[in-house]
Structure 1
Amino acid sequence: VTGTSTGFGRQLAELVLQKGEKVVATARRPSVLDDLVSKYPSNRLLVLKVDVNVPQDIIDAFAATKDKFGRLDVVLNNAAYVVMGELEAVPEEEARKLFDTNFWGAICVSREAVKFFREVNAPGVGGRLLQNSSIAGIIGREGMTYYVASKHALEGASKCLAAELDPAWNIKVTIIEPGSFHT
């Protein structure tokens, strides 16, 4: 799970752990997950420092997951953030940083996830790639131009990826489109 510091990522990581499953929780500041580390055993929880804007962090996280658990069934691309502002009001540098995280970060994680599901998991086991998008990526929302655009791009890329995958690999791509939540 990327982006487990707060919001959906944090809530999902906790829920999955409560259900007795194993979790690899990634965050730019892993210390914010210290309460989970003290609550759950290390054979069920692996916390890793990952900035989805740093490709080597992503590669290292998948390698650490392989070393720790030997397999991976589900990846949730969750790391993202919102910049509020109209198209002309948001500085280009800020908009590009948002796209780097919300779109390119998710794409880099997706590449590594597909590779792991295909090459590390046993043949035919595959895996499920969950893309945490937003209903805003479909319907648009004023004042959120760049966030909406990043989620729309993620939706399109995810649909293409799903169509490109060989069915024999048993890799599924699911787009999640939550509405507005206070996270």
Structure 2
Amino acid sequence: MTDLNITHTPLTPWPVRPVADPRRAKQPQFMDGMCEILKYEGPMQALHLFQSYAKAGGLMKVTAGTRSLFVRALKQGVKDGLIALDRETDSEVSDDDDPVGWVLRLPDTPLVIVRTLGDRSFAEIPTSELAALILDIRAQDDMLGREDIYRAVLEHYGLQKLTALVRRRLDHVLAAYF
């Protein structure tokens, strides 16, 4: 495999601070916390945003009821022009209402930023970011095979193992974008 030179932006994690309990938060409180998280970590999957906010609000997990509160607040934030929402296909998405397929960002943030993994799991990387990384890899060596692309992606994110999840998501990106 050719030595590849991938440029990326380091993922800057949100400096966690207490936020309003999402079960009782008002719209301005939701927007304050969600927009602050997006300022640091956007573009990001909606579910990951909900989980980050919920944890800072004192919850261990996002239940169905809490998730509906986040979705309602998010939709209002999109309507008000505070948050941009882009829907993506993802091998892990069950339907259009699944926030794993919603990529959120502040309106003045680029659609895609190729970053380091940071504290994200591989499942939390937007598919558009994976596609941009693969495009960069293929632009440097268009003769790379699928396994070489997998290895280059793993190396970029500092991962060692090609798990079933990683393979499934990368297969999906290659089929959807290339």
Is the TM value for this pair above 0.5? Answer: no
Work out which structure has the larger RCO, using CA pairs closer than 8 Å and 6 or more positions apart in sequence: 2
User: Greater strand percent: which structure?
Assistant: 1
TM-score of the superposed pair, with normalisation by structure 2? 0.31
TM-score of the superposed pair, with normalisation by structure 1? 0.30
